[in-house]
Amino acid sequence: MVSGWVSLSGVTVRRRGRTILGPLDATLNGGGLTILMGPNGAGKTTLLRVLHGLERVNTGEVHWTDPKDADGRSQGFVFQTPVLMRRSVLDCIAYPLLLDGVSRTQAREQARAHAAEVGLTVNLDQAVTFLSGGEKQKMALARALMRRPRILFLDEPCANLDGRSVKEIEEILHRIKAGGTRILMSTHDMGQARRLADDVLFLHAGKLVEQSNGDDFFRSPRTAEAKAYLKGEILL
């Protein structure tokens, strides 16, 4: 019997004859915020893309307990480098609803509300290219939230941002989580992971090495790889 809200069984992803993820077995339970950790090349981004349906698996299967969660319209995804379009900030945020056939007036009205929700206080009629790094991530978050997703995938959303922007985005994530949205997020920032993680999935070389409660992972990791990573050692 499958438990949790999503389970992966024997999932592998290969590129050019090389296995970059798996074989991987994992089950995510409950709500809250799950942090994906591991060194570069561990498979974090690939796992996020698999769950969001952006990456095809070569073997294995992904099972969603509630079929509604598997629908891409029930999910949001924020990339490390936000996807920008040649539109105003407001129309970039409104874009998902425009795709759904919502009128431009209604979509833009909701976009303004979501911009305020994430603390984006810039002139929304300006071109999105004029935003700072932190503002672009806020824009991307607002856009990802337009459909009120049940699940939000975040790939290093705070990479290369200043401390103030990181703090603001973390506060936004706390509010999103409190509203009932499940969050699965990758990060290399150890401090951020400690602050946010309800639970942790630690990957290395495409394998799931350890999965545990956030506090337990940082206080007493079980595996040699996790212990070495938390000490700042290089994993080969």
Give the pLDDT score at 190: 95
Residue 235 lies in a domain: no
CATH number, domain containing residue 201:
3.40.50.300
Q: Per-residue confidence of the chain (236 residues) as pLDDT tens digits?
A: 345 799 999 999 999 999 999 999 999 987 799 999 999 999 999 999 999 999 999 999 999 999 999 998 899 999 988 888 889 999 999 999 999 999 999 999 999 999 999 999 999 999 999 999 889 999 999 999 999 999 999 999 998 788 988 999 999 999 999 999 999 999 999 999 999 999 999 999 999 999 999 999 999 999 999 999 999 999 98
Residue 42 lies in a domain: yes
Residue 1 lies in a domain: no
Q: Dihedrals φ, ψ of 46, to 5°?
A: -60, -40
Residue 83 lies in a domain: yes
Residue 195's CB is within 10 A of a number of other CB atoms, namely: 16
Residue 134 lies in a domain: yes
Report how many domains make up the chain: 1
Residue 165 lies in a domain: yes
Residue 102 lies in a domain: yes
Q: Which domain holds residue 211?
A: 6-230
Asked whether the beta carbons of 196 and 173 are under 8 A apart, the reply is: yes
Residue 155 lies in a domain: yes
Closest C-alpha to 53, from 72, 34, 69, 36 = 72
Helix axes 163-178, 133-144, angle to 10 degrees: 10
Compute the distance between CA of residue 98 and CA of residue 110 in angstroms, rounded to an integer.
Answer: 11
Give the pLDDT score at 3: 58
